Amino acid sequence: MTHLIVSDVTLTFGGLDALSHVDITIEPGIITSIIGPNGAGKTSVLNCISGFYHPSQGTIRYGNRNLTHASPHQVSNIGIARAFQNLELFRGLSVLDNLLLARHQHLTYSIFHALIYFGKASRLEAENRAYVEKVIDFMELELYRKSMVGNLSYGIQKRVEVARALTLGPKLLLLDEPMAGMNIEEKEDIVRFILDLKKEWGITIVLVEHDLGVVMDISDQIYVLDFGVVIGSGKPKDVASDRTVIEAYIGEE
C-alpha cells in the first residue's frame, strides 16, 4: 500500500507564497479531503502532486518515487490521475472517444504492430476497449456513450470528466471540485461513485470540495488550508470543532 507524502512544500509565484511549508500525508485506501476558503491553495496542492507545478522547496513522494519535479505524464504513468475543476474534455468528440483517448498511454505496441493490426496491437486494443466499457458501465454513462460531449448537460460532463480520469486506471485519484455547479441529485450520484471507487475498486481518493456537508459525511481524513498554510487536520469531527478552522471560514477574530 503506497502513501503519498507532501513534505514542507512551498510554492512561490513572483514573491507570493501560494503554499507555505505544507505537510500532507495521503494514506492508501481512504478518502482524504483538502478544504479551505477560496484562494487557500487547494488546487495548487493538486497541481504540485500532478506535476503541473513544481514546488519552490520541499518534496513530494509516492512510495519510493520522488515526484517533486516529475512531469504530468510521468505522474500519470505511475498510477495517479486527476479530474479537473474546469472540464478538460474534447467537446467535439463523443463520450466513448474521449474515454478511449484517455487510454492512449496503455497502447504500448509499435508502429509496425499498428500497421498490420495483428497480435499485440489487436489484443491491447481489445483490452483497452473492455476497460473503457467497464468505466462507462460504472459511471452509468451508457445512454451518452455516442453523444458529443459538448451537447451534454454540465452535470453529465462533470461525470464524464471523472470517468476520463478513472479510465487511466489509477491507484490514486485526485478530484478537484467534482460536484461544483451540480444540483442535489447530481451531487448524490457523484458521492455514490466516489464511495464505490473506494470500496469496490480500492482506489485512494484525494478530494477538493467546497460542500462541507459532503466532505464531513464521506471523508476519512481532512486537511484545512488557509492562505497556503495547513491550519488543521484530522478526522471530520475533530476538524469541525477546531476553533482555528471555524475562524478561517467565518472570519472571526
pLDDT (tens digit per residue) in 197-227:
999 999 999 999 988 889 999 999 999 999 9
Q: Which amino acid is located at 73 in the chain?
A: H
Q: Which of 168, 194, 223 is the last residue of a domain?
A: 168
Predicted local confidence at residue 237, as pLDDT: 92
Cell of 133: 466499457
Domain count, the chain: 2
118 shares a domain with 3: no
Q: Does the CA dihedral 235-236-242-246 come out positive or negative?
A: positive
Quote the pLDDT of residue 164.
Answer: 92
C-alpha–C-alpha distance, residues 127 and 141, integer Å? 19
| Mean pLDDT estimate for the chain | 88
Q: Beta strands 65-66 and 57-62: pairing type?
A: antiparallel
Beta bridge partners of 65: 62
Same domain, 16 and 125: no
| One domain, residues 56 and 174 | yes
Can you tell me the distance from the alpha carbon of 181 to that of 159, in angstroms, rounded to the nearest whole number? 12
Print the domain residue range for 128.
Answer: 88-168
Does one domain contain both 29 and 143?
Answer: no
Say which CATH number the domain at 189 has.
Answer: 3.40.50.300
The band of 235, judged by pLDDT with boundaries at 50, 70 and 90, is very high
13: its cell numbers: 509565484
Cα 218 to chain centroid distance, Å, stands at 16
User: Looking at the structure, do residues 70 and 103 belong to the same domain, yes or no?
Assistant: no
pLDDT at position 113 over 60: no
Q: Identify which of 169, 170, 168, 195 has the alpha carbon closest to the alpha carbon of residue 178.
A: 195
- Show the DSSP H helices in 52-174 as ranges: 72-77, 95-102, 111-116, 120-138, 154-167
Q: Residue 110 pLDDT > 70, yes or no?
A: no
My answer on whether 162 and 193 are in the same domain is no
* 143 plus 175 within the same structural domain: no
Residues 251 and 190 in one domain: yes
**Strand 31-35 to strand 16-26: parallel, antiparallel, or no bridges (unpaired)?**
unpaired
Last residue within a domain, chosen from 168, 200, 217? 168
Checking if the pLDDT of 196 tops 70, the result is yes
Number of H helices, E strands in the chain: 10, 10
pLDDT tier for residue 251 given thresholds of 50, 70 and 90: low
Whether 153 and 186 share a structural domain? no
3-state secondary structure of 12: strand
Are 152 and 118 part of one and the same domain?
A: yes
75 lies in the same domain as 178: yes
Lowest mean pLDDT among 61-70, 78-87, 144-153: 78-87
C-alpha 95/C-alpha 32 separation (Å) is 28
Q: How far apart are CA 10 and CA 54, in angstroms?
A: 9
pLDDT digits (tens, 9 = 90+) for 175-186: 999 998 888 999
User: Are both 72 and 18 inside the same structural domain?
Assistant: yes
| pTM (2 d.p.) | 0.88
Confidence of residue 245 (pLDDT cuts 50, 70, 90): confident
